[in-house]
Structure 1
Amino acid sequence: MNHPRLTERAITRSLIAAGIVLALPLGAIAQTAAQTAAITDATATKADDAPVEPVVVVTAFKRSSTLLKTPAALSVLSGDNLREQGVNDLTNIQDVIPGLVIANTMDGVQVAMRGVQANDTSSKGEQDIAFNVDGVNIGRGNARGGAFFDIDRIEVLRGPQGTLYGRSSTGGAINVITNKPQLGQTSGYAKLEFGNFNAQRAEAAINIPLGEMLAFRAAGVSNTRDGYSHPIDYTTSYNGTTYYFPASASSVKNDQRDRAGRFSLLFKPVSDTTLQLTQTVSHQGGTGTSQALETQMQAHNDTGSAALNILPNPVQAFLDSHNSNTAAVLDTRLSDIQLKVLGSHQYLNYRQQLPSAQDVYANGLYRITPYFGDDAFGPAFNFRLNHHQVRTDQFETTIANADASTIEYVAGVNWYREKAGENGQNWNALLWDPLDTATYLSQSGPVNLTTHESKSVFGQATWHLNERVGIIGGLRYTNSDVRRVGTFALPFNFNAGFPPPPYGDDQGNAICVYPNSCVGALNNGEAKDSKVTWKVGLNYQMAPEHLFYTSVATGFKAGGFNDYDPATKTLGQYAASSLTAYEVGYKGRLLPALTLSSSLYYYDFSKNQIAGVTNFVGGQSSPYTQTVPTKIYGWENEGSYKLARETTLSGSVALLHTKFVHFLAGKNAFVGDPIDFSGQELDSSPKLTATLSISHAINLGNGAKVKLRASSKYSSSYLLSDLGNGVRYRQPSFTRSEASVAYEPAQSSVKVQLFVTNIENKIQRTGGLTGYDNSGSPYGGSGSTTFSSMPANNLAFNVNEPRMYGIRLSTDF
């Protein structure tokens, strides 16, 4: 059921109301501070009876603090929260944290936060949301899945983090903190999960002391599941011949064959010094991801796995990704200074063959085998073969005052270098002989090595004028360089009838013949940039558990280069992102059992990097990034109320308004007849999201418990765009709900939980819109599946999971 769209005027009125709501606690807190203190004291004497919200410790500002004393829009999910909610994947956290839309694409996990997101996933592109594991930045989306196990907590920082986190944190940061080895204890856990789609998940960890100064921790996970995107029978005709492809001609997609391990050694020679060495390895396998067809989703009302049916593509599908991360962290106290040194090396070897799920006519009519002596024309099965090798080195040193002080500071230096080898080839296979690899035609693709290197120095401090008032200030200087060496191949120009490039190199090796890369013209480029980002703020601790804060902060993502600039007819550069964020917020404990956080924000995103495919004069088509002015503002609220000792109610409400101030898109944006997106909202930016959850435990009288939990998320509609074709699709509003019931016996550590996610069994489109043809189509095109001569089975999207259910067993020791 679609809900009415919120108008800009309605949101403006809501934001005014939000300001009033933020002001209300000022008087209320002043009147009830003494009463609250009395309640707190009374609670301390009746700890067994009174419901009290726990204190949450975070390190979002690179020093330990409590959640309610950290002046930022910050959400935290503990390891217990993750286990209870069955969050086994990064994409699942969007169902419990406001302001997030997360898509799982062929390039890995892509995050949109408060409407800020990156849509250039090539080797020269960078993220807008930093993703860090134990302080190590994971820059590539397809390297993020292997770290999501044995987790202590997840911290989600919303808003630009240009001071402490620097590059690629324009819209925020997601910090995953894993469990560390513990001295002097032997402990661990084991978890098993069985569910539909033949899901089998196993996770375990063990902590072993090795004397008084050493401890070792090993953790591992194995996750297997059959796919939920099933091929269906498919028949098509060409030149009077009918071709039939049964469902069995293609493999089921969107499965899982993943495993990972983490091994950590902690050395603590004295009480204020630790050295931790960590090695994480992971492998992702199976058939890989697949987009979903709009025709199938509409035919099944977006419901169940049937909505995810795909057309068979006989080309083999596979995913083979190996990832490793070696990290060392030294944390020591030198007199009054806390010193932390972090170094890491990552290696990603990612191979995926991704057959299209779309109609063979989606690729148009191509000259299939010109270099084998056959001028045959016809439709083709399209697929992509990716092989990325990425090596990343990082080094960061920070110092901070070791004890509480009038001035609390963090300062440091950071060096980051990523070498991304990109080989992404688009291929076509003959309709009438799709298994003959000798006839596969390379359509286009890059073969290059791109190096990202940045150096920065930063510092942030809070000056406590008195017990209540603090002034926060921070600066960061970043020097960034991106350079690419390689080629980009366009083997033929069908319209001009140009032949493909040569088919052998100087050594006689075949090129442009599957699976060898097609070598084209040189495609080198370089862009250098430097930037000072800053933050200023004022914190007002009105009472011990009531914090008001306001800040102005900037974000930074370096500029880059386009392969082709229509003005110069050569390689051209685009500017760095420029975002200034204004925020005012409150967070506190209104009662011992009630916590609340609320924030108003406004982003002047004067240079927002938007990437799309654009056609230029002479038929030249090239990925093209523009920096366009955008505006974003909103209001976010999160709260938790412990109704009773064993009953907790929590939820969130977020309003969001985004718009392009000026933006021209479409194939002909620079040579006439552009599509004007000015005044339109940004992608993946629902105007309203809300979550609500309740958990309750029933004591059975003998020490055993039954734990019940239910939660639901509502999201209003949002847009997804094919910027190259200048068209958009509106994902309708939706809810996603989940529930679980668990039994914890008194005399055993074994726990049993039954669970179900996505109770509605509805599918949502999360990105990756492909298949539109703008010919003769009006702007917007919402919901339409046919454009010009394009077939109905052409429009496709990235989507999230259907309903999942099963049983979990766990034990701690």
Structure 2
Amino acid sequence: MSVRNFVSVASTLALVAAAQSFIVAPAVAQAAAPTGQADGQVTAPGAVAATADPQSNAAPATDAAAEQDGIGDIVVTAQRREENLQAVPLAITAISGDTLKARGVVDMSRLSEFVPGFSFGQTGSDVRPAMRGVRTANNGVTGDPTIGYFIDGIYQSRTSQAALGFADVATLEVQRGPQGTLYGRNTFGGNIVVTTNAPTHELDYGSTLTVGNYDKVRYEGYINVPLSDSVAVRLVGVTDYAEGWVRNSYNPQADLFDENKQYVRGSVKWDTGGFSATFRADYAKQGGNGNSAFGYKQIGSYIDPGTCQILFNSPNYIYLNERAGNRDGVADCRTTVASPAGPVGTGVDLGIPIDNLGDEFTVSNDYKPFRNLYQASTSLTASYDFGPVAVKSITGYVKYRGRRTTDSDFSASSIAIDQARTHTDTFSQELQLLSSKSQRLEYVVGGFFLNDNLVNGFINQQLPRVIRSSALAAPITGSQNNGTYQFERVKVYSRAVYGQATFHVTDAWSVTGGVRYTHEKKTYLNATAFWYLPATLPSGANPLTLVTIDDPLPGRGVFPARPDNCGTAGVTAATILNSLGQQVASTYCPLEFSQTTWKAGTEYQITDRNLVYASVSTGFRSGGFNAGLAAAQSAPTFDPEKVTAYEIGSKNRFFDNTVQLNLSAFYNRYRDLQESRQIIVGGTTLQTTFNAARARSYGLEAEAIWEPVPELTLGGNLSLLNAKYTDFNNVPLPFGGSILVSDASVTAPTIVNGVTIAGIGQRRIIAPGYSCDPLTGTGGAGQPALSFVCDLSGNNIPHSPKYSGSAYASYKIAIGDESAVIPFVAVAFAGHHDEQSFNDSLAREEPWAKLDASLTYEVNRQLSLVAFVDNITNTKVQTLVSYGGTPLQASYQPPRMYGLRLRFQR
């Protein structure tokens, strides 16, 4: 954004703000005094949270003025009612909306700076959070997230939805550890709960303009208008634009991680007597080039230099783009021993050089991708307070559509394009019966059901080849391969009933117990198409063989009905093959299961400001499907994975409410983990998801705030974590698990477990650092090609740094009656962690630290200007490494970002 445009926009905003203030001021003086708070609103420092929600009957604070100095309270909803954070016996990090605005947080990507042990990963539009040894690995429609995401109580079933409706936030909660009783399915590792500001009975309005490098321009505005004594409305709007911070040196129009987002939300609240209802409707749209698919930057692969073969986890790396078809005719490696690549001295073409090697924020792709995401949702939260009990209903409908493409060869060559689309239609309904907080026995009883219709489509489009390489004087042209298309549909029906009660044995000591029963049913359909080029058209095949679920086309097949003998042992799916024996469609017997989760705990209020607690709880992640013909024949489904979590903790305020220290220690046992395995089907091996692995994690988390004087705030958090697989066997390595090496000293075949793994004059080298054996049933006469599986027991769970945390400091310097300057500085850090379960050396993040800083000038209570720099150190932090074949692909957090933020509020 040019300086002239910036000055123009900023001046316009300031003039509009001033005009609003002048015009509305007389009306403000006559407006009714507020009668309640926005849901989850932060209270004045030292005050107990006041609430207008009938699910909580706690009286508003009447002596807030007596404790203006000190740390303010935050309202959270982790126990399905509004409560003071410090009174809830759970490990929760709660961040106020004001803090999010001051730090410029507009999505989940920076939560690791606030939440102990939280790790953020992203592949394309899909968010992959992790904490306490639980990570989000499967984002497809055949599986489910492991960490729940809720907006105003409405469950979001796809992690890509987390990047859309994030505006005018009152409170953001991260609930660490399983929440299987009060929240249920897919809260296996915890929850991220966003509560937006509800309408209030006070005229209010405000806006924030942010400008920065990469032509960043973000505007967010809101207005809250009371229509009567009982009805109020609130409107929120956001526009966000930025150029991509991953530059494309070949095609400048194809920069990645740009932004082009629009968002609007309207809400109406009606409260009268004991009744309250809030209706919300919003719409979000996100365009631009997007974030590629998985990792956007290739970082190299492994090689055995003597044989020029790929050997996983070898200490030797090769920095080539080895994607299929990317060959420039240049010998990238020369053998020193005889191998399948050829005799000694053979030159092997392994790929083309990786462009912009070592520059994590520059790629060189020819294709300009696109990202088209939109979401429309509505919700109604209604409650009635009868006095001793309150009844609450939460109804939500979410319609999400996503379509994005990527340059699948990751290069300036023209080889292939991938396109993915995801459709989600989610309806949920929850009913709750909540007791009054004034009773000795507090309880919440509820019922929940969810219908989720999911569609996923994937297209691999092959192009006429044009190979461009820095090693070539001119591009090489060639033919193209056949393309594929896959279509999947999953329908989810989930029903649950639950209850949790807390009995106050004494005024200080309480015990809690809860249980939830979930019944779930899923159905699955898929269809496959094959695009044949005329030159490669098999005899008798059509150019396009397609079965479409939505609208079957004449002559292209009929989607198979559910097998008639579902329930019969060994019958799980029906499939359709074309004339070439290729699968074109399949339908599965329904996956149906029931799960009971529970919680037990106790807490003791030592003083009004010191709480200790202990609990044990369980959670689960929903089961799912393995796609494809072979899976349909052998292993079509996998069951839920489960966790049992033990936690002790303490929440404290000391020294006249100037020090807050919250501690939690936990031990989690995971079983039936959904991990990848290989199975044998006919003459081939197939990688599928099985329930096999067991794991455990334990650690300590601390959060602290110190306000020695009202002007100075110091804070930080720390996580110490140990997370490992305890039983994780029979795992195939992603590629290059073993190689054959000529060795004349070998005079007899090498046989392991009855399988010949190397012949006379050869020896087999297994990937360094792994204990591997031949997969049973492979390697013999008439059997499929030799395949190896390895034991990963004892490996670190991905995205689980041994230590991580942050620290911050701010100081308010008064320069007038209303004006002040506030410098702020924060540092975030993390230790070594692995990014894949194989713990290989390239997929490993080394220790890192980065620094943020800002300087705020408060003109008065209404107007402030913030100058900020995020990631001053320009630290390159990997968020994910993925195996899309060789080489490995990585994603990174943004580089240094800086700008100005102008805020106005009534």
Counterpart for residue 159 of structure 2? 141
Give 1:701 shift: 3.2
Contact 2:146 2:189 in 1 (8 A): yes
Distance change >3 Å, CA 440–CA 89, structure 1 → 2: farther
Give 1:405 shift: 1.0
Give 1:273 shift: 1.1
Q: Within 5 Å, which residues of 2 pair with 1:308-457?
A: 308-314=361-367, 316-356=368-408, 358-359=410-411, 381-432=415-466, 443-457=483-497
Contact 1:296 1:308 in 2 (8 A): no
1:96 maps to amino acid: F
Residue 83 of structure 1 aligns to a residue whose secondary structure is: helix
2 CA distance for matches of 1:652 and 1:115? 18
Counterpart for residue 256 of structure 1? 259
1:6-65 residue CA offsets vs partner (Å, 9 max, x unmatched): xxxxxxxxxxxxxxxxxxxxxxxxxxxxxx9xxxxxxx9996898411122211111121
Distance change >3 Å, CA 538–CA 389, structure 1 → 2: same
Of the three residues 711, 714, 737, the one matched with 2:851 is: 737
2 CA distance for matches of 1:138 and 1:46? 37
Contact 1:293 1:796 in 2 (8 A): yes
Give 1:806 shift: 0.1
Residue 524 of structure 1 aligns to a residue whose secondary structure is: strand
1:734-780 residue CA offsets vs partner (Å, 9 max, x unmatched): 0122110010113x72210000111111222212413454xxxxxxx
Give 1:255 shift: 0.5
Q: Within 5 Å, which residues of 2 pair with 1:115-264?
A: 115-183=133-201, 185-232=202-249, 246-248=250-252, 251-264=254-267
Of the three residues 627, 632, 635, the one matched with 2:697 is: 632
Give 1:449 shift: 1.3
1:485 maps to amino acid: L
Contact 2:298 2:889 in 1 (8 A): yes
Give 1:522 shift: 1.8
1:606 maps to amino acid: R
Give 1:84 shift: 1.4
2 CA distance for matches of 1:698 and 1:757? 22
Counterpart for residue 363 of structure 1? none
Residues 1:652 and 2:717 aligned together = yes
Of the three residues 593, 606, 617, the one matched with 1:542 is: 606
1:590-622 residue CA offsets vs partner (Å, 9 max, x unmatched): 221001111110011122222478886634544
Give 1:105 shift: 1.8
Distance change >3 Å, CA 685–CA 534, structure 1 → 2: same
Residues 1:522 and 2:596 aligned together = no
C-alpha RMSD of matched pairs (Å): 3.3
Contact 2:409 2:415 in 1 (8 A): no
Give 1:456 shift: 0.1
1 CA distance for matches of 2:125 and 2:361? 20
Give 1:706 shift: 0.4
* Unaligned ranges ≥5, structure 1: 1-35, 37-43, 233-245, 361-378, 512-517, 774-793
2:109 maps to amino acid: T
Distance change >3 Å, CA 798–CA 211, structure 1 → 2: same
Residue 82 of structure 1 aligns to a residue whose secondary structure is: helix
Contact 2:245 2:257 in 1 (8 A): yes
1:58-90 residue CA offsets vs partner (Å, 9 max, x unmatched): 111111211111000000000111011111121
> 114-123 or 348-357, which moves further after superposition?
348-357
Counterpart for residue 104 of structure 1? 122
2:732 maps to amino acid: G
Distance change >3 Å, CA 569–CA 551, structure 1 → 2: same
* Unaligned ranges ≥5, structure 2: 1-45, 47-61, 302-316, 320-355, 469-474, 547-551, 558-577, 734-773, 779-786
Distance change >3 Å, CA 323–CA 477, structure 1 → 2: same
2 CA distance for matches of 1:204 and 1:593? 33
Residues 1:796 and 2:877 aligned together = no
Give 1:432 shift: 2.5
Residues 1:676 and 2:791 aligned together = yes
2 CA distance for matches of 1:92 and 1:677? 31
2 CA distance for matches of 1:704 and 1:678? 59
Contact 1:614 1:666 in 2 (8 A): no
Give 1:442 shift: 5.5
2:464 maps to amino acid: L
Contact 1:539 1:550 in 2 (8 A): yes
Aligned residue pairs total 702
1:734 maps to amino acid: W
Q: Within 5 Å, which residues of 2 pair with 1:469-480?
A: 469-480=509-520
Residues 1:293 and 2:359 aligned together = no
2 CA distance for matches of 1:752 and 1:611? 51
1 CA distance for matches of 2:204 and 2:224? 5
The normalised TM-score by structure 2 is: 0.73
2 CA distance for matches of 1:47 and 1:67? 20
1:622-679 residue CA offsets vs partner (Å, 9 max, x unmatched): 4434431011111101110102111110111110111111213225867542132110
Residue 366 of structure 2 aligns to a residue whose secondary structure is: coil
1:332-380 residue CA offsets vs partner (Å, 9 max, x unmatched): 11242111101111111211112236248xxxxxxxxxxxxxxxxxx86
Distance change >3 Å, CA 177–CA 440, structure 1 → 2: farther
Contact 1:50 1:644 in 2 (8 A): no
Of the three residues 478, 482, 486, the one matched with 2:522 is: 482
Distance change >3 Å, CA 439–CA 497, structure 1 → 2: closer
Distance change >3 Å, CA 567–CA 204, structure 1 → 2: closer
1 CA distance for matches of 2:248 and 2:510? 60
Contact 1:228 1:305 in 2 (8 A): no
Give 1:427 shift: 2.5
Residues 1:84 and 2:148 aligned together = no
Contact 1:124 1:482 in 2 (8 A): no
Counterpart for residue 691 of structure 1? 806
Contact 1:75 1:156 in 2 (8 A): yes
Residue 91 of structure 1 aligns to a residue whose secondary structure is: helix
Distance change >3 Å, CA 45–CA 190, structure 1 → 2: closer
Distance change >3 Å, CA 281–CA 567, structure 1 → 2: closer
Of the three residues 496, 501, 508, the one matched with 1:468 is: 508
2 CA distance for matches of 1:141 and 1:734? 26
Residue 843 of structure 2 aligns to a residue whose secondary structure is: strand
Residue 221 of structure 1 aligns to a residue whose secondary structure is: strand
Of the three residues 591, 596, 599, the one matched with 2:664 is: 599
2:864 maps to amino acid: K
Contact 1:447 1:488 in 2 (8 A): yes
Residue 136 of structure 2 aligns to a residue whose secondary structure is: coil
Give 1:149 shift: 0.6
Contact 2:717 2:807 in 1 (8 A): yes
Counterpart for residue 898 of structure 2? 805
Residue 317 of structure 1 aligns to a residue whose secondary structure is: coil
2 CA distance for matches of 1:45 and 1:475? 38
Of the three residues 805, 811, 834, the one matched with 1:719 is: 834
Residue 80 of structure 1 aligns to a residue whose secondary structure is: helix
Give 1:304 shift: 13
Distance change >3 Å, CA 806–CA 652, structure 1 → 2: same
> 448-457 or 501-510, which moves further after superposition?
501-510
2 CA distance for matches of 1:132 and 1:576? 21
